[in-house]
Amino acid sequence: MRGMLCTLDRIFRPLLPGKPFRQEPTLEKKLAKGDAAWSTRKTILGWVIDTVNGTLELPDHRFDRLCQLLDNIPPTQQRVGVRAWQKVLGELRSMSLAIPGSRGLFSMLQHALRYNHTGRPHRVQLTAAVHTFLHDFRQLATALHTTRPTRIAELVARQPTVLGATDALVQGMGGVAFVHLAHGSVSPIVWRAPFAPKTQACLISWENPRGTITNSDLELAATIVHHDVLARYIDLAEHTIQSLHDNTPGVYWQRKGSVTTTEGLAAFLR
């Protein structure tokens, strides 16, 4: 490898007349750390990739940095500087690749930055809901680093092996799924669940315009319960699930993993 780089250096150097002598393209320090050496477990672009186990995880120093960021915002803290919060969001975004479950946590965190109701332009209000989402992020990151590294196959969608559909209305919700695994298909999974009378009474309709729950909220709840039901019966690790729905907002929220407002149930369901 080093010989090839030196050859390339001799070829391209005459094309740069007047340039001072450059440092060797391959540093001894990098070689000592494992560059240009075969290994099944390496740190590449800030991620620890294990090709034998097929996993992706945060290096120790990045996990420590994440814990430091979150620990610096205790649950009792009510405000934080805008620039400090932007830094927190930026680092969380960069680490969320290896934490797929964190995608739905940014809606509330981003909303706190976008809508500042404190009357202080350089301060962000940290509500109880924001702290709850930060706690969820901390729990996911800890599990990722200690007990459950992210499978690489979970990060890239493949040919669906689970095909199903869900629906919801004021009385309740339900769904069906057809599963095809490597060892063969399993019996279709059918589920349904009624909504509590209190929930039904809160649905917005022509007869109840002052309700607090929309039909899209119920549809989104059905998609979430659908995945939870499947996970209870099947090991869905490294499987791509294709769910069909007839509600445009529910499909959009599910795919994007976030909503544009903290009002209503959708922000908390995601």
Q: pLDDT of 63-83, one tens digit each?
A: 888 888 888 888 888 888 888
Final residue before a domain boundary, out of 92, 122, 153:
153
Rg (CA), the chain: 25
62 shares its domain with 142:
yes
For residue range 225-269, list pLDDT tens digits in order.
Answer: 998 898 888 887 777 888 888 888 877 777 766 665 555 565 566
> What pLDDT sits at residue 176?
93
27-40: pLDDT as tens digits: 667 666 666 677 78
Burial class for 119, CB neighbours closer than 10 Å (0-12, 13-18, 19+)? exposed
In this prediction, residue 174 carries a pLDDT of 93
d(CA 38, CA 34): 8
State what percent of residues in the chain have pLDDT above 70: 76
Q: Is residue 225 part of a domain?
A: yes
- Whether residue 175 lies inside any domain: the answer is yes
Cα 265–chain centre separation: 19
Same domain, 105 and 170: no
Name the residue with higher pLDDT: 6 or 245.
Answer: 245
Domain boundary among 106, 129, 153: 153
Which tens digit of pLDDT belongs to each residue from 94-129? 877 777 777 777 777 777 777 665 556 678 888 888
Q: Looking up tokens 């740190």, which residue turns up? A: 43
Question: Residue 207's pLDDT is what?
Answer: 86
Same domain, 125 and 164: no
**Do both 166 and 245 map to the same domain?**
yes
Q: Are 50 and 60 in contact (CB under 8 A)?
A: no
- Tens digits of residue pLDDT in 157-166: 778 888 899 9
For the cut 80, the answer to whether the pLDDT of residue 167 exceeds it is yes
Are residue 17 and residue 93 in the same domain, yes or no? Answer: no
Do 99 and 16 have their domain in common?
no
pLDDT value of residue 23: 54
Looking at the fold, whether 233 and 164 belong to one and the same domain comes out as yes
pTM for the predicted model, two decimal places: 0.63
pLDDT of residue 127: 83
Report for 63-67, 174-178, 180-184, 243-247: range of highest mean pLDDT: 174-178
Closest CA to 109 of 94, 124, 97: 124
Residue 62 lies in domain: 55-153
For tokens 């814990």, name the residue. 67
pLDDT value, residue 193: 93
If asked whether residues 247 and 207 sit together in one domain, one would say yes
- For residue 144, which of 59, 235, 268 has the smallest C-alpha distance? 59
Residue 36: count other Cβ atoms within 10 Å of its Cβ. Answer: 10
Residues 179 and 202 in one domain: yes
Domain presence at residue 206: yes
In a domain, 48, yes or no: no
Averaged pLDDT of the chain: 78
Residues 162 and 262 in one domain: yes
Q: 195 and 116, same structural domain?
A: no
Note whether residue 215 is domain-resident. Answer: yes
- Name the domain count of the chain: 3
**Are residues 170 and 241 located together in one domain of the fold?**
yes
